Structure 1
């Protein structure tokens, strides 16, 4: 079989299984089976072999540890301290609690690395609070869902760890490259909140006194140190991403058990169980997606795609828009991690062929696939926020689309101005990022 026939079988069977509601992780593995049986050179045992090889990765250990760190921070009541700090810093602006929601999401993103943990943790507190203060529930849900996307853009980020491991890109460089687009996204959300607040007369908090501001900063300073410890340790070469994830867990346990005293044995046991359960789901997706990706590479399907696209011509900018479009579409239907393994490996040779910097390519891909967390029918963060707010997804679509406009503008900026994304990695990691 040639590359085109194999691609038709793989993607055709996968699409059919997804349509009949087979879970994506299983659909990816089952889509490989016909090819293993049809081609005489292959055996079905290779499916299990490739899955096991993908799990034999020290880097992948960071995924369950980062998830555990985020859940421990949630259980330790870190969210409340971040809310108090955000209220003191931006709560006095028009639409106070809306600005607080955005800033809390930015701060929590620097701790968790997970958008779903952020949507559940921040949304569980702030959506009811916004509703109580007279905010339209549809806007509150849309804002929390869209702001949660920053959880995988502002470092540390689980998706960046996966991307770095799969496509061999500096994870420290990816973390640093995510700072600017994440910050731009947060500021753009605040502009939208300001406009909504002026038109709908949302309430504000009184300006804090100097003493109140100092108290809020003092109570939140220890959690805020988390991203500095993780990213600074990786960039400074003190530990690897996996070791950084373990340090994050130990630091979260230290805060929760000894400093804030909110974590007992029961809470620790429940948090570890939940983290292990969700990590197992993600890792199983990685296994089946890796087998799927191995078949793509074995039959040279990425090169087939490169040859097709290269006939159209174009350079870095056009490939950037192609990358964004592919990830935006695929993100509507499947989880981010398998999408990275499959689509990322297909598009990586195309990006290399036009001379696109691997970190620039990675940031476009991570941001684009992260947007799938708020785009139906998948839209996991939107689902979580709607569940917390007690509304249907269709009710939040209008406000989500409005908030999606600045998100797309940030993505366009990332595509058009690669040097802005690469400035921080090149400045702080000159030996690794050229």
Structure 2
């Protein structure tokens, strides 16, 4: 950075000013990040516009990131191959007799789906098509249907195997196996909080409940779903016990989902397979393009030592581990409202990592605070991608579902606070299974 034309403050003003200006003009995030880099690359004598291309493609030179399209393909194969249908029947036999039966099934299916796909957007798209119209026919309010579908979809970034965990582990050099294990208890607590919220809504508004299934039906549903439920065990178990890497586990998940769809459930034909490939290509292209341009943006932040300049004042506050945890959560909550989670990890995660380390936070604990906080951004405007998808399927405006969405986020905030105050919520399972993953 010696001899740079711009100071860290000037560079930060240009980068963030142009980026947020373009966001206000509704320029897609990935393009806004790239365009924000260009003026500095042109002005700075030691850099050139080619640096943007080089740093973008350097980000793709990552074996770990290959896991992203494979997990997305696994989710799409589930949808077209009959796996989701079996999991839905199991969910109904488990919780259909609870108040608000169909909404309870929505949450439990999202929990199961999260353990296989790792993608909240894929979950939101598939669950919206399955549940919103069905809940509308059963007398549920549109705002409630959209809210619970969108909010339950965020479980996919918290419960392993999460794409955000893979990106975080690759960018900040944290054990992905430890992150997979750390997401189990927070994900379960958030799912239970969502089910409790549905219970209260259903009781107050008189939403319908299904008759309790017989034990025979329940065990038949389990038997039919066992092959599908083996998928997360194969993915997570293989990674934890060192049988294969995160990327190899994603490839195995695709092969296993394809095997189930073709040979066990026999519901996937060539046209359905082609549809799954096309959808995967679209989602993966968007996701990875964001990774590339965010990496170029993050490279410029590092070049000008902007993170060091930003945190120099915060470190003097001496917040302690809990205060630092709440500060980190606040930053990610705000950033998540405007920025996709993956570029937020690459840009903001790298800025806050030295602060977390200086406060004594375990890297895995810091990662889980960041990931859970960023999950809120998937359903909060103006970004709110999962909420946007659910509203689009329901044919309503985002503001119509906002009140119920905010109410459903309150129990999630309590879980986040518990995670910050009591690190063992995230660290208990990793310390029990593989303590060598922790610092």
Q: Give TM-score scaled by structure 1 length.
A: 0.98
1:226 to 226, 231, 235: 231
| Residue aligning to 1:316 | 321
| Residue aligning to 2:366 | 361
**Number of matched residues?**
434
Q: Is the 8 A contact 1:360 1:421 kept in 2?
A: yes
| Residue aligning to 1:5 | 10
| Residue aligning to 1:25 | 30
**Cα deviation per residue 1:16-36 (whole Å; 9 max; x = unaligned)?**
111122211111111111211
| Residue aligning to 1:401 | 406
- What is the rounded CA distance, in whole Å, between the counterparts of 1:181 and 1:39 in structure 2? 45
- What is the rounded CA distance, in whole Å, between the counterparts of 1:274 and 1:90 in structure 2? 31
- What is the rounded CA distance, in whole Å, between the counterparts of 1:41 and 1:255 in structure 2? 54
User: Which blocks of at least 5 consecutive residues in structure 1 are unaligned?
Assistant: none
Structure 1 residue 77 displacement after superposition: 2.3
Does residue 282 of structure 2 align to residue 271 of structure 1? no
| Residue aligning to 1:327 | 332
User: Which blocks of at least 5 consecutive residues in structure 2 are unaligned?
Assistant: 1-5
**Cα deviation per residue 1:203-252 (whole Å; 9 max; x = unaligned)?**
21111112111111111111111111100110010000000000010011
Does residue 83 of structure 2 align to residue 87 of structure 1? no
Runs of 4+ aligned residues of structure 1 deviating over 3 Å after TM superposition are none
Stretch moving more, 303-312 or 181-190: 303-312
- What is the rounded CA distance, in whole Å, between the counterparts of 2:274 and 2:136 in structure 1? 33
| Residue aligning to 1:247 | 252
Q: Is the 8 A contact 2:76 2:280 kept in 1?
A: yes
Structure 1 residue 113 displacement after superposition: 0.5
Does residue 121 of structure 2 align to residue 116 of structure 1? yes
| Residue aligning to 2:77 | 72
For 1:386-425, what aligned pairs fall within 5 Å after superposition?
386-425=391-430
- What is the rounded CA distance, in whole Å, between the counterparts of 2:99 and 2:218 in structure 1? 18
**Cα deviation per residue 1:33-53 (whole Å; 9 max; x = unaligned)?**
121122222222211111121
| Residue aligning to 2:384 | 379
Q: Secondary structure in 2 aligned to 1:35?
A: helix
- What is the rounded CA distance, in whole Å, between the counterparts of 1:220 and 1:42 in structure 2? 55
| Residue aligning to 1:429 | 434
Q: Is the 8 A contact 2:186 2:425 kept in 1?
A: no
Structure 1 residue 114 displacement after superposition: 0.6
Q: Is the 8 A contact 1:164 1:170 kept in 2?
A: yes
Q: Is the 8 A contact 2:99 2:207 kept in 1?
A: yes
For 1:276-291, what aligned pairs fall within 5 Å after superposition?
276-291=281-296
**Once superposed, what is the RMSD of the aligned Cα atoms?**
1.1
- What is the rounded CA distance, in whole Å, between the counterparts of 2:203 and 2:363 in structure 1? 42
Q: Is the 8 A contact 2:97 2:210 kept in 1?
A: yes
| Residue aligning to 1:159 | 164
